[in-house]
Amino acid sequence: DGGITQSPKYLFRKEGQNVTLSCEQNLNHDAMYWYRQDPGQGLRLIYYSQIVNDFQKGDIAEGYSVSREKKESFPLTVTSAQKNPTAFYLCASKVERNTEAFFGQGTRLTVV
């Protein structure tokens, strides 16, 4: 089945640690996105990528980094510079910019 797979479902980070969230899609979509969701707030864009080896900062990119080495993969690294990383992280993809967006099942990151 085609879709977007995010892993892990739950992730715990110690203070000062970097962690990487995985996002893989087999939909052959060009565009991929990372959003952060906090209780009572709308989804906020972290990073997005239109093609391989190219990506753009979103509204809240500080403390995060990404790579797009393969079309199907768009991993997000939450660095120690991100002071409040506890949130629900969602990955999305589109065929191209003006088409329907599809989302993964999310990763819940908690700082311990």
Partner 1 sequence: KQEVTQIPAALSVPEGENLVLNCSFTDSAIYNLQWFRQDPGKGLTSLLLIQSSQREQTSGRLNASLDKSSGRSTLYIAASQPGDSATYLCAVTLDRGSTLGRLYFGRGTQLTVWP
List contacts with partner 1 (CB under 8 A).
6, 31, 33, 35, 40-43, 45, 48, 50, 56, 58, 88, 90, 92, 94, 96-106, 108
| Residue 32 beta carbon to partner 1: minimum distance, rounded to whole angstroms | 10
Q: What is the DSSP string of 40-97?
A: TS--EEEEEEEETTEEEE-TT-TTEEE--SBTTB--EEE-TT-S---EEEEEEEESST
The token pair at 84 is 């409040």
Residue with Cβ nearer partner 1 (82 or 93): 93
The CA distance from 82 to 24, in Å, is 23
- Strands 10-13 and 107-111 turn out to be parallel
Would you say 6 or 82 has its CB closer to partner 1?
6
- 17/51 with CB nearer partner 1: 51
We find the least distance from the C-beta atom of residue 68 to partner 1, in angstroms, to be: 12
The least CB distance from residue 43 to partner 1, in Å, is 4
> Minimum CB separation from partner 1 for residue 39, in Å?
10
At residue 110, what is the residue type? T
